[in-house]
Structure 1
Amino acid sequence: MLTFRHDLKSLDGSSAYLDGYVIDTSPEMNSAVTRPAVIIVPGGGYVFTSDREAEPIALKMLGNGCNAFVLRYSVSPSVYPNAILELASAITLIRNNASKWHTNPNQVIVAGFSAGGHLSATLGTGAAAEQLKEHGFDPDLVRPNGMMLGYPVITSGKYGHQDSFKALLGKTYNTGSLLNRLSLESQVDEKTPRTFIWHTITDQLVPVQNSLLFVQACLEHGVPIEAHIYPSGDHGLSLGTAETAWHGHGAVEQCVQSWMQLFISWITREFPNS
């Protein structure tokens, strides 16, 4: 396995980097195989990036034949569009190094949790097209091929997690137009990549309606989507196991533990190794 850290340039000089976990080749095995790349985008309300939604997810990806990358993006007081430009840079970096990292450039999947789900879906939809073009990115060339959204922040409306938007937008939060632009259920279009999404009905921090609104928008635009709504569990479950529980306590929810295997099965169907 190859591991590395690549620093990403941020508009305001804040810290952002990409950790790579790449399955190496061997002369004893088929060295021509290229693998899907999963970019893990942890949550944290745009205030921090959660360790519980970072390396533990990457290791699961590795163990199931995917190359994994963890994006540590800029958070408050850094504001939009810093983080989205960093995610676009990460996708560009991976695609430019696809041969070196044994990765299929047409099988790049973003896996975002909570606010990281919002960041992932901002890039997957057309929400940030204007800012991307302004900073030299072609929105179509940095669009991921697939998305996994775990209990994502989606809407800035009635069911929105407003603290995430306040941290993301800073002083522009109250201006209205950008806040509405980043309500992603209204930004889904036919170019939005196929999506795997999951949430719990009892999430009190980011209500399940966030995922339901996104599912409905995908259905209206013909975007292939697989959705799993679990009956119980608080916000921020990650794997739902003791391994990813907060300080080793709580947040163990057996009913959601199936999501990882379902996600891997989805990758296998939608992005077979080549």
Structure 2
Amino acid sequence: MTVTDTHTHLYSDAFDDDRKVMIERAIAANVTRFFIPAIDSSYTKAMLQLEADFPNHVHLMTGLHPTSVKENYMEELRHVEELLSKRKFVAIGEIGIDLYWDKNTLEIQQEAFSHQIRLAKQYRLPIVNHCREAFDEIFVVLETEKSDDLFGIFHCFTGDIEQAKRAISFNMKLGIGGVVTFKNGGIDKFLNQIDLEHVVLETDSPYLAPVPYRGKRNESAYIIKVLEKLSELYGLSQEVIAAITTENSKAIFKV
């Protein structure tokens, strides 16, 4: 069985004390494919080092996270463009809109999001989309940029079934993580109505640890708890869920 974590911040300082052991623990649990989203230029060095340390398992994205869209966002976008011109990445991410932390930056978040979608199209890459308290705003941008060459993952999907269907209409897979195990997470109520071809697994570690680890540091090995929940919801074996979601990740990332 091969399990794919399509979204994990393994370079986070939350793992500074035990990163190697933590990653090896995940690999021992059959989680052998790690897709690493970017935040901003301050993490680039750590991401490149992570790839150098685990070249057979780690796959890097580049992009500017919406909560890092500040006054210097054009400078940050130039950094993304420079990286893209020098080497290969598997996606532009994570990008999008986040109105939980700062509603005052909506306009420049929208500009940065659109700019990076166009970069993804230019380089024929998927996007990995971050949405927090911003479904309407995200959908406006996706509608504007909608085309056959727009595709990717709606990371950490937490919406309702209608929002799920709309996300899928933009050629997006739904990134399902620890929230599906939460008592009041909501998505467990309808997820089995969504065909598995539209689903990928993720942890978003070190954030959003699944039950029974909720509130603690998340790590990629804990994706097995997400896998167990989907097995329960879909009435399929963990091996089948792992195989389908891994194939879905390959269709997106081409790796």
State the TM-score, normalizing by the size of structure 1: 0.40
**Structure number with higher strand proportion:** 1
User: TM-score if structure 2 supplies the norm length?
Assistant: 0.42
Structure number having the greater helix percentage: 2
Highest RCO, 1 vs 2 (Cα 8 Å, sep ≥ 6): 2
